[in-house]
Amino acid sequence: MNQLEALKQFTTVVADTGDFRQLAQFKPTDATTNPSLILKAVQKPEYAPLMHDIVGRHRSAPLDETMDRLLVRFGTEILGIIPGRVSTEVDARLSFDTEATVARAERLMALYRAEGVGPERILIKIASTWEGIQAAARLQRQGVRTNLTLLFSFCQAVACGEAGVQLISPFVGRIYDWYKKSAGSNWDEAASAGANDPGVRSVRQIYQYYKRHGIATEVMGASFRNTGQILALAGCDLLTISPELLAQLAASEAPVTRALDAAGADTDLPRQHFDEPAFRWALNEDAMASDKLAEGIRAFAADAVKLEQLMKAI
């Protein structure tokens, strides 16, 4: 049994890609996409015709609607390959606008519905800002399942759990990146690997807090830099993994052991609550989380603009 097969015994494996032609070989349950992954995919010759088709058929539509149609087209193609759910992201430029986020999510769901895709197979990805979390709470009450992304801090996770979101995506690799860069020449890679990785520690804390307090929100570790981070979270509800790292896991037969177990969740953290002022203060006080959240929103927004420019040029 290779490591990917062994991991699937403990954790739901999710593919993090827009390149749906790669999916079949890894047999993931779910898949996640984002503007950066879709941008990367449509620049490949095998996917360019898909974008040309969408733009050609909806040339008179507003550009933001055409963008959503492209995202849904990719999502629909992915759902034809996997048995589970696909995550489709709301434009990051709406991350601080609750009303606009809700409206865009509703349009994405309507586009999926028009393709015959039921709501149980869709997760709407929204940045874990205060406004995004409030939008997700409203959408969940409407029966729209949400995936709160760009999550770097405990206060974001607590607020998401209180909002009743379906799933959160704490970003392991980007947390690791920040601490490594901050430490500079003092960074000790060996001492900060595996269970001691700062990104792994963050997810473990959130996972144990959720399980200890009976919070139903699913935890999906994301943004991995190496297989060591993935294996250190074996047993997490879900892990979303790039095709490159899925291939590395499939190529190794080293043993895999469960690292997280809901039955043994061990944390002394009491149940916590963050209203808006407390949330904003806690996020402000966490330099890593506030830096990476802002950076992530800017990066996804920039790639959305690049994707729009490609569509305009057709």
Give the active site residues.
Answer: 125
- 3 state DSSP class of 309: helix
The single residue listed with the structure tokens 């492209």 is 70
Rounded-to-integer distance, Cα 198 and Cα 196, Å: 6
Cβ-contact 136, 160 below 8 angstroms: yes
Cβ-contact 99, 131 below 8 angstroms: no
C-alpha dihedral over 171, 172, 173, 177, to 10 degrees? 100
Strands 167-170, 122-127: pairing is unpaired
Cβ-contact 237, 220 below 8 angstroms: yes
Rounded-to-integer distance, Cα 251 and Cα 253, Å: 7
Cβ-contact 188, 179 below 8 angstroms: no
Residue type, position 26, single letter = F
CB atoms within 10 A of CB 284: 11
Sequence-distant contacts of 179-187: CB under 8 A, at least 24 apart:
179/288, 182/288
Across 209-225, b (16+ Cβ under 10 Å) vs e yields bbbbeebebbbbbbbbb
